[in-house]
Structures are given as structure tokens and as C-alpha cells.
Amino acid sequence: MDKPLLMIPGPIEISPAVEQAVSGPPPGHLAPGFIAAFGRALGMMRTVWQAPADAQPYVVAGSGTTAMDMAIGNLLDEGDRALVPHIGYFSDRIAEMARRRGATVDVVPSALGEGPDLDAVAQKLRGTPYKALLCTHVDTSTGTRNDAAALAALAREHGALSVFDGVCSIGGEQFDMAGWGADVVLTGSQKAIGLPPGLGLLVVGARAQQARDKLQRPPALVLDYSSWRPIMTAYEAGTPSYFATPATTLVRGLDVALAEVARDGMDARFALHKNAADAFRAGFAALGLSLVTTPALAAHTISAVRLPGTVDAARFLQGVSARGVVIAGGLHPALKGNSFRVGHMGHVLHRPDDLRRTMRAIGESLRDEGHDADVEAALAPFEALA
């Protein structure tokens, strides 16, 4: 059989050009071709993030979690206050990172599959001098998208710095960093950007840079903006500089992956993701399945879907996998064993046959498990995709 089709929320299918770029011997970090690739990648991050001119992109070895820790470590000191509009699994993670910096963390809760109440967030911000608002853009455990524009605006209005964990969104969901006034926006390489895992990617606005300079206790040296900023500036200006060895092979791939995102054009890229998400949603509905999240908040990069009570989740996932497609089980504690997740982001969206193959595998496996699934009806919405 062909290699399995990877339809999980990261790592995702990568394009042939990206695969080629991350193959072969590693480039040296002083090689002219590498310097050029790194510089281009940093420049394209500005485009993909829609970043303000004075923001600084960072590329570090690690994962999305590394980028989260870097954002938090450069922002919060002992005794600072942070507010987390909670939306799912990764909200707990960013809150814990803030606590480990010695910050006091308050949480605005939300019901499963719902975003936090924006009025409640505003009320908290009004009443307490928070230094930071720590948000997840798209929650990967429930497929719910926070209203990032509104949250960033609220933070600005109340003098807090906003951080967005965009690990499951950047490159697939619209994020207008400059227009919305977000201060730090981060992701990992293996989600909608379409690289293998291994890079943390952040764009840091001027206010958040200044907050680092005012910290009393600096972050770990390897995660310090101050360690990396001269390096990023140098590469973007076309000269090499050394602090710690960059993941050269992956950076070479990042140049290619971001060029593919940028070549789509950002609006077309977001539309590509929305159209695919709409086709999956219509397909799930045709199978009699419902999303975990409220439809209005459903992300365009991932779907979390409830299984009928009669279907055994483990057997269902095995049935999908036996058809050569890998999807994910539930991640959120309340969704383990009663739901599944499909990542629909990146290069694979240019291959509608693979999207159909995914939906067919889901439908047929459900049928095997005794659910009365009309597989052909679930495939119909994919006909409209180019």
C-alpha cells in the first residue's frame, strides 16, 4: 500500500518541493545559499503573519511548545499578572508556563467547544492590571477558533500585551497581526506551515520586545530574544551570525514552505482552507455526525467530531487507518473515546482526491462499526473543490 495519508492536526502532509528541501546533507550555517534561504524565510514570515514593520520574526529549533515558552519567558516576571481566556487543552499549557515564571494567572473559563465570553474577558481586564493576555487562536483539542481580533483589541484597550498561540492556525487561518494589534504570534513548523516538526516560529511586536528589555529576571539563554535578535537581523540582512547552530535543514525547508504559502496569496490561502473545511463539515453532516464546537466558531484547519454513542472509537480509528488514512482520536480529557479529529491544512488541500479518500475512509469505517452512513452523500461536497 502507499504510505499512509497523514490527516492529523500536525505533522501534516508536506509538498514534494518541501520534501526535497529537507532531504540530503545539511547545509552549513555559513553557506551563502543557506544565508539567502534563512533571510528569505524571515522576510516571508512577515508576510504570512501580516506583521507590522517593526516586528521581529524568530526561528528556533524546537516545537510549538518551545515557541510558547519563549514567548512567555520573554514577557513575564515574578509577580506579574496574566489572564488566560481558556478555550481548551493548550490554554492549560500556556497558563502553566506563566505560573512557572512566577506570574499570577487568572482564567476566564469556557464551555467545551465554546469560546470564552468576551464580556467576561473585558470585565477582568478592566478590574485588574494584567500585563498579558495569553490566548490560543485555534484550539486543537476541540477545533474551536477564538476571536483573535477582538481579544487583541481588548488587550490593547486595557494596556495588556497579547500573546497568540497560533500553532494550529498560522498559514491556514487568517491572522492579521498588524491590523489586529497582536503583540506576539507563534506557531510550530509541522502544522499549517507544512514542514516536518522541529522549528518554533514567532513574530514579536515592538511592545513585547520592550517588555523583554525591562524584565528583572531574564529567560533561559537559549530562549532569550536578546540572544537571537542579532542573529535574525543579521540573516535577514544577508550576513551570517552565530549564537547556537540553527536547524539548517529545516530552515532550508522553511524557505520553500513559506514560499508555497505566499505563492497561494494569503487571501487565497485562507479561502482554500475555508472551502476544504466547509466540504468536510458538509460531509460529516451527511454522515449524521456533529462537530464538538459551535459551527460559528469552527476552525478552518481542523475538525473535532463527535462519534455516535454506538461506535467504538479505537475500532473506528483502526478501520480508517486500515484504509491508509491516519486521523487522530480525542485529545481533550472530555473527548477521549467519543470523538475524532481530522487536520485539513496545508499542501494536501491542493489534492482533493486525498480529501475524498479521507472522507471515504471515515464513512466506510463508520459503516463497518454499524453506523448507518451514506458515504456517497458525504463525498458529494468535495466535488466543488478545484
Ligand X SMILES: *Cc1c(COP(=O)(O)O)cnc(C)c1O
Residue 183's nearest CA partner among 215, 166, 206 is 206
Q: Are 302 and 293 in contact (CB under 8 A)?
A: no
All three cell numbers of 317: 480509528
Q: Are 235 and 43 in contact (CB under 8 A)?
A: no
Task: Report the Cα 186 to chain-centroid distance in Å.
Answer: 8
Nearer to ligand X, 165 or 369 (CB): 165
175 binds ligand X (CB under 6 A): no
Contacts (CB under 6 A) with ligand X, residues 179-198: 188
- The span from the CA of 46 to the CA of 49, in Å, is 5
151 binds ligand X (CB under 6 A): no
90 binds ligand X (CB under 6 A): yes
Residue 279's nearest CA partner among 162, 386, 166, 384 is 384
Distance of closest approach, residue 140 Cβ to ligand X, in angstroms: 3
165 binds ligand X (CB under 6 A): yes
- The span from the CA of 329 to the CA of 21, in Å, is 31
Nearer to ligand X, 140 or 293 (CB): 140
What backbone phi and psi angles, to 5 degrees, belong to 134? -105, 110
- The span from the CA of 129 to the CA of 219, in Å, is 22
Binding-site size, ligand X (CB under 6 A): 12
What binding mask, one character per residue, do residues 105-144 give for ligand X by CB under 6 A, x or -? -------------------------------x---x----
All three cell numbers of 298: 469552527
- Stretch of residues binding ligand X (CB under 6 A), selected from 38-46, 156-164, 165-173, 231-239: 165-173
What binding mask, one character per residue, do residues 41-70 give for ligand X by CB under 6 A, x or -? ----------------------xxx-----
329 binds ligand X (CB under 6 A): no
246 binds ligand X (CB under 6 A): no
Residues of the shown chain interacting with ligand X in the complex, contacts defined by CB under 6 A: 9-10, 63-65, 90, 136, 140, 165, 167-168, 188
